[in-house]
Structure 1
């Protein structure tokens, strides 16, 4: 495993509101996630987990601090990337609690769409989509519509979609919350495989104690600060 961080968060602070109404959602957070590593982010509601994930995703601006992705400074007082949409599309993969698959497209086309939106030719996009579905052990369901997929199958298709454009950073928000214990562990084992074989950095927000043993590290947030790393 490479020790070079693909995600580097340095002194990240985020304040909502002003004056007496100001809320310090994040307070000087430092965090690195290396290539090939799967890190869990836990903490009570309101601890800043989703805020941190949205800052790393370049959806929410920090109030202070520095963010680097894949060796490039992305934020340091301002964004240093001209096209944030392209950055998110090409270098960051997103996985959510609910798969959010388009109900009118089959599994293959749900994955291929992410690539065609990025400029990939449709035929090449569909070929890679089928390869990704095979890689995630759901290739036999390539032609199935989302309504015909089980929860675990749909989440694997969502992971394939997240991998479509070869991202180095994958951000997951409660990806196993809607799954039973067995399917949750299968999904996490697949994410670990992706991290190791694709040399991606994966950060997962979770409350799901049944998957804590699937992480390389667990990071605990409380009141906007890192409470523990273990």
Structure 2
């Protein structure tokens, strides 16, 4: 397991809360969650269905607006008193965050290579460089032989590995994963976790994963347990 090698967290949450609705219909999805994740750490968010895991992941990813709290990402205060401090959250996500979703969300009109390369091109890479980088990532995930396949022709496990390659394309320092190995067998799940671990070490990155996959529990440096929207222990 990785040792904490920095006193400065890549992700710092302070009092994050999220509720949906008001009055009698109000649901408190998150309640005063505070935690820190440091460079080179691979951590898990565990908890029963409805405990707030995915809600928390989406707030860290600047996708979902919180109701209260503060958040720092890579040393930048991006949320203060429940208000975003950046006007362009899309650029922040592109620069600093890689997403691996439970469902692959590949673009159906692009082949596997271009589904990965498009992220690099959005960040400014030329087409040739983007496709070469995409090919290398697909090879690392042992899916290079399917680099010209369209998403509809990929198996669930193949599509998920392409989605993981896409998340790693810009070498982000913060990677958020929602059930990243659910569609993979033990061998492929190990390959994915090893790749994420290597990225964390090589790039001083932090990996935060929501998972129920018992095959990979021993791959995490730390496990945060959520229960009824609260951090049970850390």
TM-score if structure 1 supplies the norm length?
Answer: 0.91
After TM superposition, list the pairs within 5 Å mapping 1:59-98 onto structure 2.
59-77=63-81, 78-98=83-103
Residue 100 of structure 1 is matched in structure 2 by 105
TM-score if structure 2 supplies the norm length?
Answer: 0.90
Contact 2:160 2:183 (8 Å CA) reproduced: no
Residue 24 of structure 2 is matched in structure 1 by 20
Residue 139 of structure 2 is matched in structure 1 by 134
Residue 223 of structure 2 is matched in structure 1 by 218
- Deviating above 6 A after TM superposition, structure 1's stretches of 4 or more consecutive aligned residues are none
Does residue 186 of the first structure (1) align with residue 186 of the second (2)? no
Residue 208 of structure 1 is matched in structure 2 by 213
Contact 1:155 1:187 (8 Å CA) reproduced: no
Supply the distance in 2 between the matched residues of 1:194 and 1:156 (Cα, whole angstroms): 15
Supply the distance in 2 between the matched residues of 1:23 and 1:103 (Cα, whole angstroms): 35
Tell me, what secondary structure is at the counterpart of 2:159?
helix
Compute the displacement of 1:147 (Å).
4.2
Supply the distance in 2 between the matched residues of 1:165 and 1:41 (Cα, whole angstroms): 24
Tell me, what secondary structure is at the counterpart of 2:32?
strand
Residue 124 of structure 1 is matched in structure 2 by 129
Compute the displacement of 1:148 (Å).
4.4
Compute the displacement of 1:137 (Å).
4.0
Compute the displacement of 1:72 (Å).
0.2
Does residue 176 of the first structure (1) align with residue 181 of the second (2)? yes
Supply the distance in 1 between the matched residues of 2:153 and 2:198 (Cα, whole angstroms): 26
Supply the distance in 1 between the matched residues of 2:57 and 2:138 (Cα, whole angstroms): 26
Aligned counterpart for 1:35 among listed residues 35, 39, 58: 39
Supply the distance in 2 between the matched residues of 1:163 and 1:108 (Cα, whole angstroms): 13
Q: Against the structure 1 CA distance between its residues 26 and 86, is the aligned structure 2 distance closer, same or farther, given a 3 Å change threshold? A: same
Supply the distance in 1 between the matched residues of 2:167 and 2:96 (Cα, whole angstroms): 10
Residue 2 of structure 1 is matched in structure 2 by 5
Supply the distance in 2 between the matched residues of 1:124 and 1:184 (Cα, whole angstroms): 28
Supply the distance in 1 between the matched residues of 2:75 and 2:103 (Cα, whole angstroms): 31
Consecutive unaligned residues in structure 2, runs of 5 or more: none
Superposed CA RMSD in Å reads: 1.8
**Which range is displaced more, 156-165 or 136-145?**
136-145
